[in-house]
Chain A
């Protein structure tokens, strides 16, 4: 029996796609995309347009709606796409099917190709669902005939390379030991920022257009081909109703347009080859050393370095935990365990606390909260999902009061950990910037609640990592928008901002509790 290569790849890709589509999260994703489709395309009667150049809005033709919404989707697709598809190998490890797959005649290359195509097909289908929603919006807001081919071609050229490259990157990150964990999730955030920069810098011309994964340069080039505007905005942008709308002609299928997009899509292949070099093929010896290397030798060395300190934390915990009343006992135990098993987090806490003491007031107000947020993005991500993954949940549920209060215990532990980092910084800035200190303490609760709620809703740490890092990106670029200044480092947060985040914190904690109660009810 000699299996065909094509049959093997098809089988892997189809199964990967099937497993992804059957996750409840996919349904939520499509609901969110429908909402985004509606939100992205404003009614021109409101004074806002989808694409505005030098104050003049573009007429809502199929081409304008396609290229604008593809541009908006590119940001989300390239960012969230990574986190959505970056669990292919992990799924086979967790489902414990890896050993069986490794003993079949499927080659490592065919396996990775199948997984890559499965991930790309999933992103492609999600994009298609979004596109269908946009076409639905065209029927509502369009100012010209609905031209499905124009939509399809634009999306294919603008987003096709992104789908293939992001799926390849997600798989390759999983193959490379130091990048296969949360460190990789954070590292991708910076890769994504490079994508944003490359698209904007290249503007579809020069060598940069071959690396325009996001397709932003391609989109800019299409617009600049017909008008040399000083400013171009995509999204809900105010326009001057006195200026006549302009029309964007259809994309011309020339070699100069298509070839760079094909070359960008082909970037996925060398990325996959790198993944193939590191792929462990479920060899238990390599999987073991890969999990040890996730974070590298560094973690082992740091563990040794911090060992005396973890021992102190452990001993303090051993005294404090039994003395604590009721549910607080479990919260304390959870916090102590997190610190003891994550030496890097403990080391980061020492660093942050030391920096809060020695740094200038300006740095403490504007930089330290950002550092704390990034550290907490890593530290809090798996707090509410790790028990399920490790299979210790039934054991924990056997402890008194843990089962009914599990969500609150997790939220409490996440909040305790977040406060541990935020309090030293808040104390440092409290005299000069009491508002900033208060914002930071509110942010601790918000981050804890977001991590807990997303962990309970999605059961994967990646959702929090992805959403929170994207949020951080918006905050960093948010300037003086008070609503975005969640931790006060932009100096724009007001009392209402803090109250708002406090309310969201309560809401998110309630969501986590509600989801847990729902899970328990379903068990019965």
Chain B
């Protein structure tokens, strides 16, 4: 469905944000993980045809989108990481505007999406009065307006409360059938339950692109849990990769990613996706 072939994006001044990245993605939900500055946002912008790569080729459904960006744009829904709304427009007017640009003239579609993102009761209020979460939901509705075959969402859950996050995950999960949803985040729990494929980037390069099960498998035997004293924990914290730590009456319950047993009392446990991601960042893929 989407093929990236040796894609590189180099900015003036020499910074290489995406470095010789090749990837082949089929329909489904793809989670793009990576630390800040890994190049996720630039990669999303390249795929969304907002910026041209310095090198490489990108094909969507067999069409070279660098030559024919319009073909992709007609089927694209895009929610950038740093986006805003016009304060003087209402939610309905905002969606009508983008509907006009995307060729969606059906008022029913706008009403339907306002309901999907739970903004139907405030549809005629100016966006200036919206909270961060409401603006984010309006952005999501905008991305879905044209029923896109490719949906690119960059850090979409930023600003959403826990209930809205769950709602949004369900929405993406429903959309993933027959379409490609590319979701970039550095919050592993966002994609834990819904991604069919996880791509991990670091320093502009693709570290891995695999099913979540494969990632979990790679971290097996490397994740440990232990209850240690506060003093031991503080002493070890600098040299160990701790994925979780909770202070309780009996000490600190720490979860650690490590090749060797980190504490004498530590027990090997099943890794979750966050552990697998930390492990991957540690070993470099």
Contact = CB atoms under 8 A, between A and B. Distances in A.
Nearest to B77: A103
B88 interface: yes
A101 interface: yes
B45 A104 contact: no
Given A3-B103, A283-B50, A97 B84 contact: yes
Interface residues of B, number: 41
Contact of B50 (A19, A103, A288): A103
Contacts of A103: 48-50, 73, 76, 78, 152
Contacts of B143: 100
Contact of B74 (A99, A105, A283, A286): A105
Contacts of A1: 74, 102-104, 146-147
Contact of A106 (B48, B79, B101, B142): B101
Contact of B89 (A12, A18, A94, A96): A18
Interface string B95-123: 01111111111000000000000000000
A123 to B, nearest CB: 19
Nearest to B142: A100
A432 interface: no
Contacts of A14: 100
A370 to B, nearest CB: 38
Nearest to B74: A105
A20 to B, nearest CB: 9
Given A22-B88, A99-B45, A283-B50, A104 B83 contact: no
A2 B101 CA distance: 10
A252 interface: no
- Chain A binding site: helix, strand, loop or mixed by DSSP? helix
B84 A96 contact: yes
A494 interface: no
B80 interface: yes
Contact of A18 (B48, B88, B146): B88
Contacts of B101: 3, 8, 11-12, 101, 104-106
B101 to A, nearest CB: 4
Contacts of B100: 3, 7-8, 10-12, 14-15
B146 A99 contact: no
> Which of A7, A19, A91, A99 has its CB near the most chain B CB atoms (within 10 A)?
A99
A2 B48 CA distance: 18
Nearest to A10: B100
A519 to B, nearest CB: 14
B24 interface: no
A285 B98 CA distance: 24
A390 to B, nearest CB: 14
B67 interface: no
A319 interface: no
A2 B45 CA distance: 22
A239 B100 CA distance: 56
Contacts of B207: none
Interface of B: 11-12, 42, 45, 48-52, 70, 73-74, 76, 78-80, 82-89, 93, 96-105, 139, 142-143, 146-147, 152
Given A103-B76, A105-B70, A107-B70, 7 more contacts: A3-B100, A15-B100, A96-B80, A99-B82, A100-B139, A102-B48, A288-B12
